[in-house]
Every structure is written in structure tokens, then in C-alpha cells.
Structure 1
Amino acid sequence: MSRFNVRKVAVLGAGVMGAQIAAHLVNVKVPVVLFDLPAKEGPKNGIVTKAIANLKKLKPSPLGVADDADLIQAANYEEHMHLLKDCDLVIEAIAERMDWKQDLYHKIAPHVAKHAILASNTSGLSITKLSEALPEALRPRFCGIHFFNPPRYMVLVELINTPTTQPEVLDQLEAFVTTALGKGVVRAHDTPNFIANRVGIAGMLSTMKEVENFGLTFDVVDDLTGKKLGRASSGTFRTADVVGLDTMAHVIKTLQDNLSLETDPFYESFGTPPVLAKLIELGHLGQKAKAGFYKKVGRDILRFDLEGEEYVPGGQKADEVYGRMLKKPAAERLKLLRNAEGAQGQFLWAILRNSFHYAAVHLAQIADTARDVDQAMRWGFGMKQGPFELWQQAGWLEVAKMIQEDIDAGKALSKAPLPEWVFKGPVAEAGGVHTAQGSWSARSGKFVPRRQLPVYERQYFPEKLLGEDNLPDWRTAGTTVSNTDALRVWTLDREVCPAGGRVLIASIQSKMHAISPDVMEGLVEAVDLAEREYDGLVIWSGDAPFSVGADLQATMPAYVVAGIGAIEEVEHELQKLMLRLRYAQVPVISAIHGMALGGGCELAIHSARRVAHMESYIGLVEVGVGLVPGAGGLTYIARRAAENAAASTGKDLLPFLTEGFSAAAMAKVGTSAIESKKLGYLLESDLIVPHKDEVLFVAVNEARAMAAGGWRAPLRRLFPVAGRSGIATIRGQLVNMHGGGFISEHDQHIATLIAEVVCGGDVDAGTLVSEEYLMALERKAFCALIEHPKTQERILGMLSTGKPVRN
């Protein structure tokens, strides 16, 4: 199969989804043209330019860096149809109207390149019926593509074929969406609302129906159906507000219009809930309308009361007993909930039972395998486990019997029995739908392995489902060189990665991958070993986060017992580790996924190169616990400022220090890998990877390529600092900020210490210093703050509550 080279993408429709799809394409450096209707007044591109400008204001931001919105090319259907000929992929994302979409296809079809793929972004319209408006020559290159909102953050993308779609078209598009856009792809059948919305919206309707049955309030339900249940923290009703109540109503209407009791035995439960209808009637469409199931008034969160048609105080929590039940092992958990006497426990069992029942009855119709259903619910609805996974974990046949008993007793939403394959045959014998041989396909009556496409060779350790024991686990895979509670040092097998055996991998194993003295010792030994026997070292710890920094819980007892000298010693060892990484005689690569904060950030910036997942959050955050970066972070800021100044015509160092100083003093965290480049934590030479499961692949191959290219560590050299004049300038600005009430007195004190370090202390401007000299200043400032009462308040507050203390 020839490579599908996407040089440019056209997005048709500058509404909420179209504009944000365009934004994500810009995030991953894919040129994009955004089309919409010509404006009736003013410039013809007015609709699109307004949508592009709005992208900069949205929260959470659809853009890695807001200014990148300007990279989206604006176009309209009247003047710019010729631009389509240069696009390899055309994504139609206009409103969910069959007639509007088909009318647009008539207009664009003559202009679409003969090799291009045309895909409709729809949440549930029939892809086959849409294709009927296309000329026969274009139909083989047409399919459905369903992004979830917001496109930057939601992992799931559903691909849907028609009877005339060429198989290689879906393969090409799946490869592009996976590796270039960083998404998890599920192929869905062309049925109403496809997989995730079919199961997910049915689940939300079920929840709303059971809420009525058990008389619970929205806030209690969201507390029960959020993280406690292993689902998105927003729960049920808050999620609906974020999605948009009009959008939810549209998806419900798609089910109502395209299904019947004959085609879906749960059809009677698809009625629009009275509370949803009332909110839409009132114009309360959710977050975008600033009112939905919830409304924020000042700092208070109010919830809607249907009986009074008004907002009342919210914030009510579920009974603690059910929180404890939900922490029990799956089998015990479901039994406790089913036998619970309270309404909240009975409600939880009811919605879980309904989700199992619905997924089993519809599996053959909506998906190739149970894997597709579970992955869709993980990636599209933020569940830790899909319905089949939880069912299997809790004991397949035992749970099946409980579900069928409820169906027979009339407690379920439908009288439809569980399919025969649930109780008899391979699934019953295997104890579930997910096995090492594959996942169950109710349509073909067998276990089906994962799709084997070249793009998945880049994922050494793909996200796996319960029961997929054939997939490797990074904690035990490869060849272990050394292994402690703190750090595993290992290599990939040559069968997985031909170059893998020549690159050492260090995986931190402490909680949140915090850097303890044992981790430090292990990393130094790993560098020593890599220099002796390998071509490079990759620091990669599998699951996010990369590292949350130094382990305060491990170091504070040393301070209590041995005083500040113990802290100074630990900091000195940590600094020596950073310099060991920087000057290692093999390339050290930090492979970043998730948070790299404090010492984790310092670990990354002292590596030879960084390979970061797009959604990485990198920053020096020590100010939050009343400290300064003490493991070379401030030294890095000073050195980078000197290097940047040397590459410019300016003589004054201070302007080059401003960004780094502000980032450290304000504990700024890059909210994407792209923004972290802007903050200086990532360099232009570093690599940003859209898919989290491809980070290790890129990092290992980068280390091997650097070694093959003759990479050498940088030479140690002195560099100039801004000196006492720079400190004086920054100090004056801090006095004004404190006087204006923008920072506290302790914030001012910490920021002054940061300024003194990054400017090199009490020396003349331009004085040449070494990294060791600045690190000594860091240690002095760090240790002084450890003994400060206000810093101790911040540290104890963070350790006890996990939240920063402002004092």
C-alpha cells in the first residue's frame, strides 16, 4: 500500500467542531484551510475569521499556543473552491442536517482532488445515505469520521465505512489519525450514533431515568458517577453541560428518528427526559450558555430544580458508604450494590446493569468486537473500563445471571434477554469477551485479534484491555538489567525494536515517579552502564506522569532528624545527577508523557534531548510549596539566557532572562508541549509526538540515530550573568507587584531569591560563571527557604491536602 501523504487538509464548516478540528490540525503542524459560507456583510471570509479569532478565547484551549490560530487559512465556498484541489483530505463538519451535507457534496465534488479522501464528521447520520449524493468516482474515497468534542483533548475518533468505501482508504485514514493526530481509532458500523454515542447516550438516558426512579439530585448523581465509578470526573450531568444540551438532544433525536421498538428493544427508554426538554425550552443549553443542569453564580454552583423551574444551591455529596463500596474488588462491589438497601446503591447497580444489558444486546449490530465498544467508552466517555471489561472482571457468568434475573423480574429497561453467546460457548468458557486470542465478535461468532496495520508497530506497549494477556506489559517486557522498587533499567527485545537492544531504558517506579535518593542513585548507575555498554539512555516511565519532581515526603524526615545539612546534601546529589545527565558520553533522552514538574522538569531540561507527548505539562513549580528550583532549574534559565543573547545582536542579558525568570517565579506550566517550547522547557530541536503510545518508539530511535550520527556531549564552558544590576531591576518590579497586592510578601521574598540566582548573585554584569557556581547559589536559597516558617506551612499544606497554600 502506497503512503497516504497528507500535505494539506480542508475542513468544511467553521462551527464549533469544524474550527476546533482545524485548530488541532495546526497543533500537529498539518496545514489546513477552513471553509464556510460567504458572509452576507463585510469581507466574504468574515464567518471563518470570526471563528478563528474565537479559538483564541476558548477554555480549555483548542490550540497548543493561541497565536497559532493565525496559521489556519480562511476560505469561503464562493471564492475559494479551487483550493480543494491541493488538499489530500477533506473533512466536512457542517451542521447535522442530511440535506445540507448532501447539498454541499454536490457543490464540492467537482473540485476534490482525484486522490483525496472525503470524510464526513457526524455524530450519527447514515454515512451510506450521505454517500448517495456523491458521484460514483468519489464514493470509494468517502467515509465517516467522528471526532469527539473537544477534538484536541478527546482521544476517540470513529471511522465508518459505506458498502462502496475502499478498504485501503480506511487503513490510510486510520494511520493518519493515529500517528499524526494522536487519536485512538475505532471502526464502527453504519448504525445510528455509531458505537460510543449509541452506548454512551443510552447510558445517560438510562441514568436520567433511574434518577427519576430513585429520586436523586443531579449533584449527588454526578458525585456517584464520576471518579468514584471510574468515569470522567464531570459525572453525568456536568458532562451533558459540557457537551451541550442541544447537542445531546440532537443525538437523542437521531436515535428516536432512526430506530424503533422492532430494531431496538430499549427504544421506549429513548424519550427526551422532561428536565432536558425544559432546559432547552428555557435556552439553558449548558456550559456555552452559562446555564444548564448547573449554573455558576459568583463562586457558588447551583443546580436546576425541575419542579420549581429554578436554580437552587448545589454541592450535595453522595453517602460515604457507597464511596467505600466502589473501592471494593469488582465482584464484591457489584454484589454489594445489588443488595444495597439505600436508593444510591440501588441506583448504581441499576445503571451498571443497564449498561451491561444494552452493550450485550447490541454488540453484533454496532461493532465488530467487544474491544471496539470498550475502547470507544474509554476514549469517548472517559471511562477507566468499558462495560464488558467491568463485567468480565466481576465474574462473567455470575454477573450475567444477576442481569438476567433482573430482566425476568421486570427491573431492567427492556425485556430483551441476554444473547445466547453470553451463557453458552466460547465466551462462557473463557470467562469473558476479551482473551489472549482476541475479543469476541458476536457477528462472526469468534474471538478476533487486533487489526495489524504498520502504524501500530510504533506502539510498543499499546493501551490494553482486561484479558488481553498476549499484549506486552512495559513493567516486565524486554530484558531487565537491574530492578529495584525505585527504578527498573532494561532494554527492548530486538524482535520488537531492532535498535532497542542498543538503547538502555530507565523507568522510575516510585509513586507519581517522584525522584527519591534511591531513584537518583539508580539513574547515575544507569548513565554509567549506558556509557560502558550501550548507545544511549532513555528515561521513560510508562504511565503518566513523567515525574512530579523531588520526593518531599522522603526528604522532609531527613530534615527533621539531621537538620538542614541533610537537605543540602540531597540537593547537592540531585544537582550532580543533572550535570551527569547533561555531560553523559551517550545521548540521554527524556521521553515525556503527562506531567514533568519541578525536579521532573529539571531532569528533562538536563537531558540531551526531549521527546514529549503533545499533551505534556512541563514546568518549574517549586514556588507553590514555598521553594525555589534547586536541582539546576535556575542554572538552566541563566545558561539559556546567555546562549540566546550570544546568538543575537543585543548586549543586555536581562531581556533574555525575563521569560525564564517569570516562568519560575510564577510557577508557570506549559499547558501543551507546544507552549513548553515557548517557555523554554523544550527546544526547537526537541520532538513533539501526537500519540502517547508512540513516545517510546520515537525516543529509542532518536537515541540510536544521535549515536549513529556521532553525537557528543556539550563542552563545559563559562557564561555571562546579569549580575547585581539585573537583580536590582527585577527587585524593583517585585516591590511594585507586592505594593499593588499582586503577590504576597513571601512570594516577593522567593522571587527575589530566584532573581539573585538567575542573575548570578553579587557580581558585575557580564561576569563569567560556571554551572556549579550557580547551583551553589540555588542550594543556598533552597535551604534558606526550607527553614522559613511560611515555606514549611506551604509544604505541610501540600502534603496533607494536595493543594497549594497561599501565605
Structure 2
Amino acid sequence: MNRNIKKVAVLGSGVMGSRIACHFANIGVQVLLLDIAPKELTPDEEKKGLTLDKPHVRNRIVNSALEAAVKANPSPLYRKQDVSKIKTGNFEDNLKDIAGCDWTIEVVVERLDIKKSVYERVEQFRKPGTLITSNTSGIPIHLLAEGRSEDFRQHFCGTHFFNPPRYLKLLEIIPTPDTKPDVVDFLQHYGDLYLGKTVVLAKDTPGFIANRVGVFGLLDAMHVMQELGLTVEEIDKLTGPVIGHAKSATFRTSDVVGLDTTVNVAKGLGQSLPHDEAKAVFTLPDFVQKMSENKWLGDKTGQGFYKKTKGAGGKTEILALDLNTLEYKPSQKIKFATLEATKPIERLADRFKVLVGGKDKAGEFYRKSFAGLFAYVSNRIPEITDALYKIDDALRAGFGWELGPFETWDALGVQKGVELAEAQGKTMAPWVGEMLSAGHTTFYKVDEKGTRQYYDLESKSYQPIPGVENFIILDNLRAAGKVLWKNAGASVLDLGDGILNVEFHSKMNAMGSDVIQGLLKGVDMAEKGYRGLVVGNDAPNFSAGANLGLVYMFALEQDYDELNLMIAQFQQAMMRMRYSSIPVVGTPHGLALGGGCELNLHCDKVVAAAETYMGLVEFGVGLIPGGGGTKEMTLRTAAKYEEGEPEYNLLRNTYMTISTAKVSTSAAEAFDLGFLRRGDEIVVNSNRVIAQAKAAALEMADAGYTQPVPKTNIKVHGRGALAMFNTGVFAMKEGNYISAHDQKIADKLAYVMCGGDLSAPTEVSEQYLLDLEREAFLSLTGERKTLERIQSILTTGKPLRN
């Protein structure tokens, strides 16, 4: 059945409901957001003489919730104006309006009786054949469907979003026996393509997949901590980025989420899992019970496992809870010999053997916790899912793990993991031993075509992971021998069908000489025997910018010839890419800052992930964009001069974007700031970006791509505009809004964007602007205050205002 989702109703405007509504608005869907009508007036409403029948009062709860969501940081919206797609109302007056909706999502309080009463009313207005789903995280889906009509049950299932819905990629789909297969297929397709989710089909079991395994891991860490006498800070050090988990690790995450949430989920799982072999793990430790009684629930109550206080001189101090005394003490810096041994190991998968081999308490913690995790997930198949890859998908997308449990186990070695579990007295599921006995030694493998496969229990063989045919995963291509060239900072891979890809793999994908060499090599290779080039990677961030450490070193040594050469080479690489004979497509995602932004400005087309934070941020370190960014933004502005808006206004807007180092909060906002332009694309699911970029490169090649010619007719305004900018900047300085050094940088930027000290508006070439840009950049590297700003970023990560 063909479905077209034009309008969605969200019932319940709490934290989850309002954020789900915002995410649908992000992708252009009209939303009807409803909640209960108030039963009594607020004191403020009474003073104004309002009554309960006034629309303003009746929609107070839903409007207040939506207003709080819009103000939230990080924002649930790609752009603030997208909130206009959300219409609010209340259950009494507006539930009838769901008749015009294609999908109704229930997100009311987690009580079976309340949810069922809402469904009773929904049935009066819902149009037959439309989707109806619940966002419950704990109530069995089949219980929710009881007593409903056949049409309702056929179109009903669980759609469990994770909070915050914009940023966490997991969407669990939980059908009932009555749910029509085409409904499940549609929701999986829509969640992936339109909502940008990693969609995992789960069975209707307690906690579904992610919470069942994730909460087990959280509670098991608490129990092992008690057993080994470890502290809160030590556990957070052991369970954070070193094993590919979030920085907030175990206890900081609990403080953010709220201990009450952890307690409710854990108790719910403990009560509903009488036959779970690890049922004892879901018993909450004594310290959790005491913290709950004390209302030490985390951030929402001002204290939890951590507590912020003001120390001497008003400086913020972080205290950590001593679980033995339940008193707070200054948070300690943690060191373990085992962790020190992993510092030189950049690749996550290579760390695990070192971690479990540790001779200190850290090593013992890892041996116990990995043994418990491996045994637990082995025993969850086929209970919670028939396919092991779904458990990994759920933990990566829902809990932010870099590697899922089976991927972690693979990295350590399946046989080694079994031995680890047996040594700790854990019982593995029989299928693991059977798999090893049959000669299958890994859970995953990549075939010669670059297709990732998983071990399928039913067929006892390796099968392709469904859906990955829509993605291009560079690690899989690497495993299949598709790397054609590489150096320390970049690789050139064959994407197939005549398209190459340049991948960065420097720290934070910073763009140094190795990366520039890789870009030039990619263009050369593509021009000689291929049809197009994609610049993309699978790292969390596209690129944090140019190698600032190298700039600092040359500037500190006053080696301006070398610095000039470095900047010129960067500019030439951007121009080489822009004016090549083959189409070049950029794929920004995550951070695309400074040089990372400049690179994309010079691509023929950009296919951006929706979560792209893009900007020219050089001003913050005392510089101006020097890799072609100032030139390109000036060029793009000049191209708009015939559109009717006063030219100085257009130039000023661009100038302000660069001089205030604006960074887009989404790819949608990058269009507003001019970093993306007409013809560029946004892809909501970041897993699809490289595949879509390849398709775009092929489309341009098929259309008969013609090598462009560098522009020589860029209109610049000279002294007239320069006087305007200089006067404005001088006024800002006199008003103490900016420092003298800010003024100097701003004047340099204006000089380049106005084309220098020209007596009248003139048409100039790209190279003319590039030369001005490079000269200004170089002159600023000779300023002491610029070096102080660069040093601050390099050493503390914080910008310095001087």
C-alpha cells in the first residue's frame, strides 16, 4: 500500500511528545500536537479574569510544553521557524482533528489504563487505514492493542523513539501479532529514509532491545563497582570514550537522564523478567535506594552522583558522591596503568585485548563486565530478536556506543570472549559454541564485494545485513581491498561505477599537508580514468578545520615563507578541486569548520547530513578564512547582486556571518548562512550521505559535466563599502563591544571582501581575491594577540578574548 505522510498527530506534549513533534516539523511534515486541557486556572490567569473555556487557557499545557521545547538547548528544531508547522490543541476540543492525519502517535504518561482510555477516544475519530502507534518504552504492545477494532489492531504497533528524538538515531519498531506486514515495512522504510533513524525491528519483550541490554550494562557496572570497591569517578573513567561509549559514561549519564528514570526502568524490568538468568543484576544496589529516598536524582534536583558547588573565589567545583559514606567530596582525577597502556592505540577495536589483559583493578573490571555482557547478549537471542546485528544496531543508535556488544566481542575474539565468560562463571548460550565448532570464528565478516554479513542462527551461515545495500560504508570497502592509494592522513577508495572517494583519517580530520596531498591525488586519479569524486568519511565529524598546530608552529618561528607556501597550497587545492574536469561532491556531517567548510564551498555540489554544524570560525583564533573561504563567500554574494536587494546589505550580511564566526546548528541553517546553496541536498539519515553523494556525482557525469572556468568578473565595491565597514567596526570598538584586536581582524576581513583600496566598484578575478585573502591571513599570524588566541584553543580548547 502506498502511503504519504502529510500530517501527523502527536498525543501528549511532554518532553518526548513535544520533541517528536519538532522532529516531524524538521522534515517538513505538518503536526497536530495535543494534550489535556487544564482543570483549574493559574493565579496569573485569575488576575487577568480568564476562564477555563478560553482557548488560551485550554491550550496552556500544550503551548507551554512546546514553548519550552523550542527554547531547549540543544534545540529539537533544525530552524526555529519550523515550529510554524506545529498546530496545538487539546483532547477535548481538537481530538476530532486527527481524522485528517495520516499517522497518530500516542506519547501520554506510561500507564496502561490511561493509554487505553486515550485509544478508546481515538477510535471515535481516527480514519480507518491510518497509522496508530505508541511511543511506550515499557508497556507490552499487545496489551495496549487489547479491545480495539480489527482495523485499529492491524495498523497499530510500537514506535519507540529515544530522547532527544532529533539527535538519538534509534527507532524501535515493535509489532503485535495483528499488525499488518505492510505497516511494519512502511514504518521501517519511513523511519530510515525520512526520519533519519537506525530502525530496529524488536520483539514485544520487556524493555525491547536497547533498554533491555543497555540497562543491564548500567546496573552490572554498579554491581561490579561494589564488588571491586571502585569509585563513581573510576567507573566513569572506565566506561567512557576508552571503550567507545559517551563521555558522560555511566553515572554522569544517570545524572542527566535522572536517577528516577533509571530506577523505574530497572524495577519494571526486574518485575517483568522472572526467568531471566541475570535477574539479580536488575536488583538495585543499596546506594541507589538511599539516593532515591534523599531525592538525589541528578541534574533535575541539583545533585546525584555528582554535585556542582562554588569553591574559593566563586569557581565552580565538581563534587562526587562517596558511595560508602553518601557524602560528597572533590572529584578525583583518575589514572589506571591499563588505561595508560591504551593511549597510543587510536583504533577502538584494538584496545579491548589490552583492557581485559590489565593487571590492575581496571583490567579486573573489564574482565568481569565484558564477561557478563557477552553472556547476557548471547542468551537474548532469539528471545528479544532473531538477529544479533539488531542488538548492535540498537546499542549504537540508542546508547551512543561506538561498537555494539557483538562487535566488541568480535574485536576481542569470539573464542577469547567465551573463555573470559567461563572464567567468570557465566553461561553462554549453546549457539555460540556450535558456531565456533562449525568453524565460524566471527559474528561479522565482509565479503569480496564489500558487503557486511552477520552470522545467522537459523541458517547457521553468514547472511547480508538487510538494508545496508542503501549505504556505502568505507570500512567495508577497505576490508574488501578497495583502497587505491593512501598516506597517513587520507585515502582514495573506489566506490564503484567510476566514482572515487577521498577519505580523511587525521585527528579530528584536521586538514594538513597529508590531507591536501590526498585531495590532489584523488582529483588527479579521477580525471585520468574515472567519472567523478566524492569527499567523504564515516568519522563523527567531517573536519574540524585546517591544522592549526602547524600554523602556530610556523608563525611562532616566524617562518612566513613556509606559512605562505602552506596557505597557497591549500588555496590551490581548493581551486584544483573546484575547476577539475570531473564533478566533485562534498559530504559534510557533524563539524565542518574552517577549512572543512571551505572545502565544501568549493565542491560542485554538497550532499550534507541534516546534523551538520558548518561555519568559517577563523575569526575566533584571530584570523580570517584563508583557504579560499573569504573569496568564495564574496563571490557568492556578488552573484546575488542582480536579485534586487541592496548590494551593500547583501555584502554586510555575509561579512557579519564570517566576522561573528557563525556556525549553523543544522544543514538547513547552513542554507540560511550561505554555506549551502541552491542545488545542494540535505540527507536526514547520515548513513546514506556517501551513497547519495555518489549518485549525485554520477548524475552530473551522465548529464555531460563540463569543466568550469575560473571567474574574472566578481564585483567588489572598494573604498565605498570599506568606509562603511570601517566606520561600523570603529563604533563597536568605541562602545567597548569588541577589542582593539577584534577591530584589526574585522578591518582585514573588510579589506579583502571589498577588493582592497579601489577607488570605485570593479570586477576582479578569483585569484585577485585569493591573493588579498592570503596576504591578510599572513599578516595576522604575525600578531602576538592572534598567537595567544591560537595557543588558547590548542591548549585549553577555549577561545580567548584579548
The TM-score with structure 1 as length reference comes to 0.87
Alignment match of 1:423 (pick from 417, 425, 433): 433
Task: Give distance in 1, aligned partners of 2:614 and 2:85.
Answer: 24
User: 1:364-379 counterparts in 2 under 5 A?
Assistant: 364-379=382-397
For 2:672, the equivalent position in structure 1 comes to 678
Q: Following the alignment from structure 1 to structure 2, what is the Cα–Cα distance between the partners of residues 532 and 445?
A: 45
1:172 to 170, 186, 198: 186
Match of 1:785 in 2: 780
Partner of 2:655: 661
1: distance between equivalents of 2:188 and 2:169? Answer: 13
Equivalent residue for 1:152, pick from 136, 159, 166: 166
Deviation at 1:459, TM superposition (A): 1.0
Q: 1:365 is aligned with what amino acid? A: E
Provide the residue aligned with 2:407 in structure 1. Answer: 389
Tell me by how many angstroms 1:687 deviates.
Answer: 0.6
8 Å Cα contact 2:295/2:301 also seen in 1 = yes
- The answer as to 2:402 corresponding to 1:402 is no
SS at match of 1:365: coil
SS of 2:158 mapped into structure 1 = strand
Where do residues 241-320 of structure 1 align in structure 2 (5 Å cutoff)? Answer: 241-260=255-274, 263-297=275-309, 299-305=316-322, 312-320=328-336
1:68 and 2:68 aligned: no
CA change 1:476–1:778 in 2 (3 A) is farther
Q: Which moved more, 1:192-201 or 1:321-330?
A: 321-330
Which runs of structure 2 are paired with 1:78-477 in the superposition (5 Å)?
78-260=92-274, 263-297=275-309, 299-305=316-322, 312-326=328-342, 329=350, 332-337=353-358, 339-340=359-360, 342=361, 344-407=362-425, 417-426=427-436, 429-435=439-445, 438-440=453-455, 444=458, 446-447=460-461, 449-450=463-464, 452-453=466-467, 456-461=468-473, 472-474=476-478
SS in 1 for 2:171: strand
Shift in Å at residue 685 of structure 1? Answer: 2.9
Q: Distance in 2 between matches of 1:402 and 1:533?
A: 50
Deviations 1:144-164 (A, max 9, x none): 111111111112111112111
CA distance in 2, matches of 1:643, 1:730: 20
TM-superposed CA distance for 1:235, in Å, is: 0.9
SS across alignment from 1:363:
coil
Letter in 2 for 1:421: W
Query: Partners of 1:533 and 1:451 in 2: how far apart?
Result: 32
Q: CA deviation at 1:488?
A: 4.2
Contact between 2:421 and 2:427, CA under 8 Å: does it hold in 1? Answer: no
Contact 2:203 2:385 in 1 (8 A): yes
Matching residue of 1:412: none
* TM-score, structure 2 as length reference: 0.88
Residues 687-708 of structure 1: CA distance to partner in whole angstroms, max 9, x if unpaired? 1101112112222222333344
Q: Secondary structure at the match of 1:29?
A: coil
Preserved CA contact (<8 Å) 1:474 1:542: no
Q: Report the counterpart of residue 492 of structure 1 in structure 2.
A: 495
Indicate the SS of the match to 1:33: strand
Distance of 1:676 and 1:378 partners within structure 2: 27
How much has 1:134 moved relative to structure 2? Answer: 2.1
RMSD: 3.1
Report if the CA contact (8 A) 2:140-2:206 is conserved. Answer: yes
Q: Which of 116-125 and 553-562 deviates more?
A: 553-562
2:687 to 671, 690, 693: 693
Amino acid of the structure 1 residue aligned with 2:28: K
The separation in 2 between residues aligned to 1:596 and 1:764, in whole angstroms, is: 37
Give the residue type in structure 2 aligned to 1:102: K
Confirm or deny that 1:721 pairs with 2:742: no
Q: Give the alignment of 1:30-41 within 5 angstroms.
A: 30-40=29-39, 41=52
CA contact (8 A) 1:23 1:69 kept: yes
Aligned to 1:16: 15
Q: What per-residue deviation string (whole Å, max 9, x for no partner) do you get for residues 459-501 of structure 1? A: 1228x8xxxxxxx325756584x555555445433xxxxxx32
Q: Which runs of 5+ in 1 are unaligned?
A: 408-415, 465-471, 494-499
Contact 1:125 1:254 survives alignment (8 Å): no
Q: Is 1:628 paired with 2:624?
A: yes
- Paired residue for 2:563? 567
In the aligned structure 2, how far is the partner of 1:578 from the partner of 1:81? 55
User: How far is the alpha carbon of 1:141 from its aligned partner?
Assistant: 1.6
Q: Confirm or deny: 8 A CA contact 1:178 1:185 kept in the other structure.
A: yes
Q: Does structure 1 retain, via aligned residues, the 8 Å contact 2:620–2:789? A: yes
Instruction: State the identity %.
Output: 37
Residue 446 of structure 1 and its aligned partner are, at CA, apart by 3.0
2:46: which partner in 1? none
The one-letter code matched in structure 1 to 2:273 is L
Inter-CA distance 38–658: structure 2 relative to 1 (3 Å threshold): farther
Q: Is the 8 A contact 1:620 1:668 kept in 2?
A: yes
Q: How far apart, in 1, do the equivalents of 2:437 and 2:548 lie? A: 48
| Partner SS state of residue 587, structure 2 | strand
Call closer, same or farther: CA 1:292–1:724 in 2, change over 3 Å: farther
SS at match of 1:96: coil
Tell me how far apart the structure 2 counterparts of residues 152 and 577 of structure 1 sit (CA, whole Å).
35
Question: Does structure 1 retain, via aligned residues, the 8 Å contact 2:558–2:782?
Answer: no
Q: Contact between 1:623 and 1:667, CA under 8 Å: does it hold in 2?
A: yes
Instruction: Name the counterpart of 2:546.
Output: 550
> 1:537 Cα shift?
3.1
